[in-house]
A and B are shown apart, each in its own frame.
Chain A
């Protein structure tokens, strides 16, 4: 009995000790109340920017202000939720020659390393799986702000941008020489759990 209590106390103290240095908090991206968005833009004929967004996605991240390099982020995107404010174009974007959303309904990004640059910027490297192709990409991230929200929670928010070459992800549809790449912008606000 005595030894069991000692073992319990030991395991508890181990748990306590191991949890102490890791102060990185877990956050869930606030997609529920839409304080997050994934938008993209691509040049139309080289004449203008066509913008669109993915309406459905979810994700979480860990973040420690004192040790930002330990941060992690994971986002899952419902590719069929693509929205360019034009139903027929959205239908085409979902079709087999572009996003092929029936075959590849989910796109995911999972970070592998975070390198802080200065006080509020970072390079987030990770694997993006899009159109069934997984490729390493780097996101330029910037911390916008964080702190207590007025409703008893704690939030941190970031913006990240990156540029993708469509052909790298096996999207072969030719949209013209000015539309080989697409710029992505991720605005994420996380609620600390």
Chain B
């Protein structure tokens, strides 16, 4: 099993990043939409946002480490794609990094705008860096829009992957699941 990426496909680290973050991001979207509608007397009124904040901070660290990992690895070949598809794929991938970064930072700002830290599952605190009166409401507005944006982009990404797999019959989806051939 290859750890690093090769021109033939993704190593185990990149694949774990991809699938674990994909699961976490979709779960966070569902959790977020659900928790903002909770009744004040719901038993989850406090715990659901606690989990959402904690996972969000872990995702922010994961996103940064993932980007660094990508930067120090060989980029798997996209020779099977048409020029248009290459451009589209690049735009979607960079779109994910930018949207997710903005989404995670805006979420962080909602909770820390008043100076309070975020406790990550009680393991450690992420301190508030920037405080501004009223920032929490503006960050909340941005956070909601970006969350829908990320999910829309994920839908485009999924449809493209399915198209490459079923219509074009390329190994694009397979190599994100099973990794590069040992060679």
- Chain A residues in contact with chain B, CB under 8 A? 55, 80-81, 83, 85-88, 90-91, 94-95, 101, 173-176
CA distance A173 to B45 in the complex (A): 14
Whether B116 sits at the interface, judged by CB under 8 Å, is yes
Whether B8 sits at the interface, judged by CB under 8 Å, is no
Q: Scan residues 128-143 of chain B and give those whose CB is less than 8 A from a CB of chain A.
A: 133-137, 140
- Can you report 14 residue pairs joining A to B where beta carbons are below 8 Å apart? A86-B116, A87-B110, A87-B112, A87-B114, A87-B136, A88-B114, A88-B136, A90-B136, A91-B136, A91-B137, A94-B137, A95-B137, A174-B41, A176-B40
Most central of B114, B116, B137 by chain A CB within 10 Å: B137
A90 CB contacts on chain B under 8 angstroms? 114, 134, 136-137
Query: Chain A residue with minimal CB distance to B37?
Result: A97
B113 CB contacts on chain A under 8 angstroms? 87
B133 CB contacts on chain A under 8 angstroms? 55, 83
B119 CB contacts on chain A under 8 angstroms? none
A83, A91, A175: the one contacting B140 at CB < 8 Å is: A91
Whether B170 sits at the interface, judged by CB under 8 Å, is no
A94, A101, A175: the one contacting B40 at CB < 8 Å is: A175
A85 CB contacts on chain B under 8 angstroms? 114
CA distance A101 to B138 in the complex (A): 12
